[in-house]
A = this chain, B = another copy of it.
Amino acid sequence: MAVAAAAPTARLSRQTWQFTQDVRIHGSAVVVGPKEGEGPLGSLFDKVYGDMYAGQKTWEEAERAMLEEAISLAISKAKLTSQEVDLILAGDLLNQNITATFSAQTMGVPLMGMYGACSTSMLTLANAAAMVNGGYANYAIAACSSHNATAERQFRYPTEYGGQKPPTAQWTVTGAGAGLVGLGGTGPRVTHATVGKVIDMGVHDPQDMGTAMAPAAVSTLITHFHDTDRQPKDYDLIVTGDLASVGYAIAKNLLEQEGYQLGNVYNDCGLMIFSSDQDVFAGGSGCACSAAVTYSYILDQLQKGFLKRVLVCATGALLSPISTLQGNAIPCIAHAVALEGGGA
C-alpha cells in the first residue's frame, strides 16, 4: 500500500524538530521552597513556601503539593480548566516517578510518564509541543519537580547523617514548574526541539554531576546548531539546565574547542537560581532547576520583549544508585527547546 501524503513534517533531521504549527505556551507557573525564594529570581516565582514541608507531613508529599500547585496555576493562568487539558507529560527524580503519578491522578488528566533526570523539564516540554503540533492534544501540560530532601535521601544519604560534600557537589532545587502548551494565542512560541543521545564519558563521581553532564549538553547544543543552521549569536540567551560552575566551565571550553564562542549569551540555570553566597556548592540542580528558571524568568523576559529568542538545553544525569555501586559510569543526556518572544 502506498504511503499516504505526509502531513507537514516537523522533522528537520534525526534529532531536531521544527514545529510547523503556531505552538505557544499559554500559561506557566513555578512553586518553590524557601532557599529558592531567597535567590535572585525569588520575586518571579508564583509561590514560595517558607519551609521544606510546604504544609505537608512528609517531604515527598511536599514535593507532590508543589507539583500539583504549579500545574493548577499554569492551567488557571491560561484561563482553562483541567478538564480542557488532554495530556500531562511529567516526570520527577523520585523512584517510580511517583510525584508525577500522584499529581496527574489529582488533576484527573491522562498521563504520559517521562524520565530524563534533570533533563525532564525540556523532555516534557519538547513532547508537549510535539503532541500539540501533531494534533494529538489541544492542550498539553509539561511539568516536573524536585525536592532537595527527597532527592538527598534517595540518591545519596539520609539527610540526618550530615555527610560532608565536596565543592563540585550541587544543591538540588526544591520546587516544581509547569507549562501549558497549545496552538495560537499571544504567549511565547515553542519553535524547535532537539532530542539528546545518551553520552557517557566515564565519570563515576555522583558528587560531580556537572563534569559528567557537560559533554551531553555540548553534544545536543552542537547538534541543534547544525540541524537548524543557526549559530550561538542567533540566540539572545542560551542556558544549560544544571551544569553549575564546574560543568559550565567545561561545557564552555568544549564548545570553544568545537569552534562555538558562546560568550555572554551563555548561562546556566544552576548558576541563575541561587546567588553565590547561598552556600550551594557549585550551584543548583534537579528537574526543578531548569523548569523554575524557564517557566518564570525566561518566559517573562520573552513575553516582555527583553529577550527575542532563547535556547534551553536541560541536562540530566541518568545514574541510579545501584548502577554506580555496580561500577558503571554516569550516563547523561540533554534535550533542548528553542523559544521565541510572544505577541499576536
Please list the residues of chain A having a beta carbon within 8 angstroms of any beta carbon in chain B: 1-4, 6-11, 14-15, 17, 20-22, 58, 60-61, 86-87, 91, 94-98, 101-102, 104-105, 108-117, 123, 127, 130-131, 133-138, 154, 183-184, 195-200, 318-323, 326, 328, 331, 333, 344
Contact = CB atoms under 8 A, between A and B. Distances in A.
A58 B327 CA distance: 11
Contacts of A137: 11
A98 B322 contact: yes
Contacts of A331: 101-102, 105
A161 B321 CA distance: 21
Given A7-B20, A96-B323, A195 B318 contact: no
B14 A86 contact: yes
* Of listed A87, A95, A344, residue having the most chain B CB within 10 A: A95
17 contacts: A3-B21, A3-B184, A7-B7, A7-B21, A7-B133, A11-B138, A17-B136, A60-B323, A87-B195, A94-B322, A98-B318, A102-B331, A110-B197, A111-B198, A112-B116, A113-B116, A130-B134
A336 to B, nearest CB: 12
B8 A197 contact: no
A132 to B, nearest CB: 10
Contacts of A133: 7, 134
* Of listed A116, A184, A320, residue having the most chain B CB within 10 A: A320
Contacts of A104: 197-198
Contacts of A114: 112-115
B110 A196 contact: yes
A319 B111 CA distance: 15
Nearest to A61: B326
A318 B198 contact: no
Contact of A6 (B87, B109, B135): B135
Contact of A135 (B9, B102, B195, B197): B9
Contact of A115 (B96, B102, B321): B96
Given A6-B135, A130-B131, 19 more contacts: A2-B22, A3-B184, A4-B22, A6-B21, A10-B135, A11-B138, A17-B136, A60-B326, A96-B320, A101-B198, A105-B200, A105-B331, A109-B197, A110-B195, A112-B123, A113-B123, A114-B114, A134-B135, A134-B136
B328 A102 contact: yes
Contacts of A11: 86, 135-138
Contact of A10 (B94, B95, B111, B134): B134
B108 A197 contact: yes
A102 B101 CA distance: 24
A143 B154 CA distance: 26
Given A11-B138, A20-B4, A21-B4, A112 B127 contact: yes
Contacts of A105: 197-200, 331
A15 B83 CA distance: 12
